[in-house]
């Protein structure tokens, strides 16, 4: 059904901000209790009270000490275009328990985000527990209607971007990372989101064609085992001609040229004893693919036998292409001992380069796939390998090592009155009031601590000593003399106010920010195992206020 918008405030939408990428992200993508609370707020006359909520997480994922913040752009797209349709309102009327007053439905018809303000850490930033990723200010009923959707848009995005960043940190900057997870992702929206946020987290390309179109992410992909095994013999190739790279000549029988090179390889003195007869149907498949894509020939070489058939067959086709001025890309390994096979393949390529005087042949790209994850990549590094590019799928996009990030959305202030959420579990006690957040850097350029202060406290200054305290543990405190101070929260949505808001960056800019911040972090905070905890602190004044409010709100027990 077509979504027909309501109300006079339609003009307050920002035409320069498109709606969410996923058409399922609509105002009804929320929990029922958001609408029941909105009705109760409205009945009590509290719905327009000004509230401040913080969106944050309590613990970094995957046993690490950092998280990559992602999903902000989709949050802003959702907020900028928030409007309930008449059909939505009829559904809410029929869904709410009991009879819903018509006045509340009229109120819903007028709801938009013109009175909402959103402050956030820039997308792609490295972030830490308890520090607000997003601060939302506005009428309490409206902000609560946004809650579930915002948490949903940030939770998975940040989790999978962090997972991607951890893979990038393991392989280093020089290797290529390819996201191959679409077929194993949790549904179409999971697949699209994974491709986008893995790119932010440091992956170079995706196999997901739709994500390539939507977001401009580079695409990579060649062929499968099915393509190789679909061929029975070289006789199946009908058009055997191939024009040279410079267009000056045409090879009328490329298949014969490939066989000529395979014979040279088999009779080569330096390569003798390496293999016997190769699989001719595999050779036919490689030849056919090279005829279709002579500029991008990359072959999957493990359908039958990597060393005895796949590698020599690939080399024969690559050498034939070289005769015509083309340069083959390389191979993909999708099974077996990847460290050993990659080293043997590299030796073979180098031997071909020496034997036949083909410059650069020894540097053919070796891509590896086959259920790779962060741990197996680490093991490959320790074993020693010659892989240039890794295709990672299932464990990446499903975030197999951790199901969710655990973002929460907590009320910290209403009508300028700070609020706190208490718990017997100290880790679940919220940090009250509207806050300003800073990152303090040390002499070596690394971040030392993230500091939260009250909104009206003076900001920390460079070269001035400041006391940073753990929010809840009295003995954990330290003086910091920052060499650089960065304020973290910036305005990304100002509603109908005239406040200046940040422009939404491009996807590449977000990715570049993530890569730069990963490099800025101290190595011991980033290591896979037993990373050094990163300090998240509050100012002395905010510390005192937290504990004053805690004691004020906690009921006093009585012993009989």
CA distance 501 to 427: 33
pLDDT score, position 99: 86
Strand arrangement, sheet containing 176-179 = 205-206, 176-179, 389-392, 365-368, 330-333, 298-300
pLDDT score, position 98: 85
Q: Which SS3 state, helix, strand or coil, does residue 274 take? A: coil
CA distance 525 to 490: 25
pLDDT score, position 5: 45
420: closest CA among 428, 173, 429, 197? Answer: 429
Q: In whole angstroms, how large is the CA radius of gyration of the chain?
A: 29
433-445 confidence digits (pLDDT tens): 999 999 999 999 9
Instruction: Compute CA 236 distance to the chain's CA centroid, rounded to the nearest angstrom.
Output: 43
200-258 confidence digits (pLDDT tens): 999 999 999 999 999 999 999 999 999 999 999 999 999 999 999 999 999 999 999 99
pLDDT score, position 524: 96
Strand 435-441 vs strand 250-251: parallel, antiparallel, or unpaired? Answer: unpaired
pLDDT at 7 over 60: no
Residues near 115 by beta carbon (within 8 Å), at least 6 away in sequence: 138, 139, 142, 495, 496
pLDDT at 176 over 70: yes
Residues near 508 by beta carbon (within 8 Å), at least 6 away in sequence: 216
pLDDT at 60 over 90: yes
pLDDT score, position 142: 98
Confidence grade of residue 365 (pLDDT, cut at 50, 70, 90): very high
pLDDT score, position 423: 87
Q: Which SS3 state, helix, strand or coil, does residue 38 take? A: helix
Confidence grade of residue 275 (pLDDT, cut at 50, 70, 90): low
CA distance 320 to 332: 19
Q: Which residues of 316-336 are buried (b: 16+ CB within 10 A; e: fewer)?
A: bbbbbbbbbebbbbbbbbbee
Would you say 428 and 444 are in contact if contact means Cβ atoms under 8 Å apart? no
pTM as predicted:
0.94
Strand 176-179 vs strand 205-206: parallel, antiparallel, or unpaired? Answer: parallel
DSSP classification of residue 424: S
pLDDT score, position 272: 57
Q: What is the mean pLDDT of residues 135-149?
A: 98
CA distance 459 to 147: 29
CA distance 450 to 517: 14
The total of other beta-carbon atoms located within 10 Å of residue 132's CB is 25
pLDDT score, position 468: 97
CA angle, corner 150, sides to 113 and 101, nearest 5? 55
Paired residues of 441 in beta bridges: 447, 484
Virtual torsion, Cα 405, 409, 412, 414, nearest 10 deg: 170
384-403 confidence digits (pLDDT tens): 999 999 999 999 999 999 99
pLDDT at 167 over 60: yes
Q: What is the mean pLDDT of residues 364-373?
A: 96
DSSP classification of residue 443: T
CA distance 319 to 308: 17
pLDDT score, position 6: 44
Virtual torsion, Cα 29, 34, 36, 41, nearest 10 deg: -140
pLDDT score, position 12: 45
Would you say 2 and 87 are in contact if contact means Cβ atoms under 8 Å apart? no
Task: Please state, rounded to an integer, the average pLDDT across all residues of the chain.
Answer: 94
Would you say 367 and 330 are in contact if contact means Cβ atoms under 8 Å apart? yes
pLDDT at 14 over 80: no
Which single residue is written with the structure tokens 């460290």?
Answer: 339
Virtual torsion, Cα 321, 327, 333, 334, nearest 10 deg: -80
């Amino acid at each position: 059904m077509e979504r027909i918008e309501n109300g006079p405030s339609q003009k307050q939408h920002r035409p320069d901000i498109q709606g969410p990428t996923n058409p399922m992200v609509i105002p009804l993508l929320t929990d029922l209790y958001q609408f029941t609370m909105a009705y109760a707020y409205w009945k009590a006359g509290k719905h327009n009270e000004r509230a401040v909520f913080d969106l944050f997480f309590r613990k970094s994922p995957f046993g690490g000490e950092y998280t990559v913040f992602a999903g902000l752009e989709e949050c802003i797209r959702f907020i900028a275009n928030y409007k309930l349709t008449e059909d939505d309102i009829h559904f809410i009327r029929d869904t709410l328990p009991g009879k819903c007053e018509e006045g509340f439905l009229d109120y819903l018809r007028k709801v938009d985000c013109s009175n909402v303000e959103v402050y956030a850490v820039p997308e792609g930033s490295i972030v830490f527990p308890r520090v607000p990723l997003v601060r939302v200010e506005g009428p309490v009923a409206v902000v609560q209607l946004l809650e579930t959707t915002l948490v949903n848009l940030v939770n998975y995005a940040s989790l999978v971007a962090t997972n991607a960043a951890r893979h990038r940190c393991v392989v280093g900057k020089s290797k290529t990372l390819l996201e191959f997870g679409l077929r194993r992702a949790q549904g179409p929206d999971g697949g699209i989101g994974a491709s986008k946020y893995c790119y932010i987290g440091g992956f170079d390309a995706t196999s997901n064609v739709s994500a390539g179109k939507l977001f401009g992410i580079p695409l990579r992909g060649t062929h499968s085992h099915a393509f190789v095994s679909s061929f029975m013999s070289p006789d199946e190739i009908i058009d055997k001609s191939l024009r040279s790279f410079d267009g000056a000549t045409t090879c009328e029988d490329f298949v014969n040229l490939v066989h000529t090179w395979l014979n040279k390889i088999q009779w080569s003195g330096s390569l003798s004893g390496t293999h016997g007869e190769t699989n001719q149907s595999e050779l036919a498949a490689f030849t056919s693919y090279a005829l279709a894509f002579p500029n991008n020939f990359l072959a999957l070489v493990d359908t039958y036998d990597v060393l005895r058939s796949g590698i020599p067959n690939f080399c024969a086709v690559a050498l034939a292409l070289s005769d015509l001025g083309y340069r083959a890309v390389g191979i993909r390994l999708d099974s077996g001992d990847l460290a050993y096979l990659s080293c043997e393949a590299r030796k073979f390529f180098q031997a071909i380069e020496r034997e036949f005087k083909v410059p650069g042949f020894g540097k053919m790209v070796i891509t590896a796939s086959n259920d790779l994850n962060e741990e197996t990549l680490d093991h490959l590094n320790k074993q020693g390998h010659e892989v240039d590019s890794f295709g990672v799928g299932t464990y990446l996009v499903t975030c197999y090592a951790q199901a969710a990030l655990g973002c929460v959305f907590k009320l910290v202030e209403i009508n300028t009155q700070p609020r706190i959420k208490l718990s017997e579990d100290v880790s679940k006690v919220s940090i009250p009031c509207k806050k300003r957040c800073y990152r303090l850097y040390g002499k070596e350029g690394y971040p030392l601590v993230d500091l939260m202060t009250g909104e009206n406290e003076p900001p920390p200054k460079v070269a001035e000593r400041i006391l940073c305290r753990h929010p809840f543990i009295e003995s954990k405190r330290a003086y910091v003399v920052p060499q650089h101070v960065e304020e973290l929260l910036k305005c990304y949505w100002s509603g109908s106010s005239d406040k200046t808001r940040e422009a939404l960056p491009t996807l590449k800019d977000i990715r570049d920010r993530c890569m730069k911040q990963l490099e800025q972090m101290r190595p011991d905070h980033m290591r896979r195992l037993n990373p050094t905890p990163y300090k998240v602190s509050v100012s002395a004044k905010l510390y005192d206020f937290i504990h004053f409010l805690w004691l004020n709100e906690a009921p006093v027990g009585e012993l009989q």
